[in-house]
Structure 1
Amino acid sequence: MDRLRRLHHQPSPPLRSRRPQKGDVNGDELEDPGRSQARQALGRSRGGLTTKVHLAVDGRGLPLSIVLTPGNVNDATAFGQVLDGIRTPRLGTVRPRTTPDRVLGDKAYSSRAIRHLLRRRGIAATIPERRDQAANRHRRGALGGRPPAFDKVTYRDRNVVERCFARLKQFRAIVTRFDKLGDRYRAGVVLASLILWLRESTG
């Protein structure tokens, strides 16, 4: 009995010699499921686990920048990443173009932070003001300031991004996510986007 007790209390082998088990992080910790899902661009919403694809497109509706987030993440939070991802090659120079002339976005992108970011980068914005923002501005009177500039005619061109999403949804692996890893799913979106570019150039 005494011998069994001593064997039971012997120290276990060091962690570096222990084989990692399924679900281990750094060999000895279990990763939080929610954090793991977020890392793979998965978020729980009404439809279950979903992924959002955020796009920046040109005037022809061709993707310029692609960012994935969990489906329960607000659209505006990915705006900076999408903007930073724009890299358009230019003839006669090595450096690509990273600053568009104008950004068209729906009311989800109507925030003070986004408008300030665009002004700081010298980018014109065509983003409608949300109803609650307009009401708050009117309630404050003169302190509310002037409404942001908005051109309804220019805003009509925003539908090109919706048409781009419609074209991407023609690919089964995009409209329904089968990939467990976010990087693999994003690679599929990039591949589908390249196909759209090739169709445009050869059409």
Structure 2
Amino acid sequence: MFLTPGQTGDNPQLLPLPDELRDLELDGQRVRVGRVPADKAYTHPSTWKALRERRIKATIPERADQIAHRKAKGSAGGRPPAFDHGLCKLRNVVERRFNRLKQFRGLATRFAKRAAYHRAEIILACIVLHLR
């Protein structure tokens, strides 16, 4: 989990996550990120390129303007990225979890003045939700 200033965009924060998970071990085995499901906010070409370089598959729907731009180029626009609607629908599990976290009043309104306190609140809320 990374805490960022409120005005920071989501897209630049995506790429450090697989690198952090690569150093993680569960039950003596290294964790490998195989696929990243994300929403249309992550469709920047630099994100696609960085995920390809890390050999991570992406399930990200294309934005309408990107589809139109690719089609306007004709055959030079390339082929559309592979997209699995079934895997994309599983993203809603994560979205629902964020909505459950927002029900904790202290998290939603950010009462904590320091980032370390806010991070601790998030971790405690995740533990409470996991135990329910």
TM (norm. structure 2) is 0.86
Cα shift readout 1:116-154 (whole Å, capped 9, x = no counterpart): 222222221100011111111111111111111111122
**Which of 3, 7, 15 is the aligned partner of 1:80?**
15
State how far apart, in whole Å, the 1-side matches of 2:110 and 2:38 are. 25
Identity within the alignment, %: 44
**Residue 163 in 1 paired to residue 96 in 2?**
yes
**Which of 148, 151, 154 is the aligned partner of 2:87?**
154
State how far apart, in whole Å, the 2-side matches of 1:81 and 1:186 are. 18
Aligned Cα root-mean-square deviation (Å): 1.9
- Residues 67, 81 of structure 1: 8 Å contact kept: no
Name the one with the larger helix percent: 2
State how far apart, in whole Å, the 1-side matches of 2:79 and 2:30 are. 35
Question: Which residue in 1 is equivalent to 2:53?
Answer: 120
Letter in 1 for 2:17: V
Unpaired runs of 5+ residues, structure 1, are: 1-65
Name the one with the larger strand percent: 1
How many residues are matched?
131
Partner SS for 1:67: coil
Question: Which residue in 1 is equivalent to 2:125?
Answer: 192
State how far apart, in whole Å, the 2-side matches of 1:194 and 1:85 are. 21
State how far apart, in whole Å, the 2-side matches of 1:168 and 1:88 are. 24
- 1:88: Cα distance to partner? 5.3
Q: Highest CA radius of gyration, 1 or 2?
A: 1
Unpaired runs of 5+ residues, structure 2, are: none
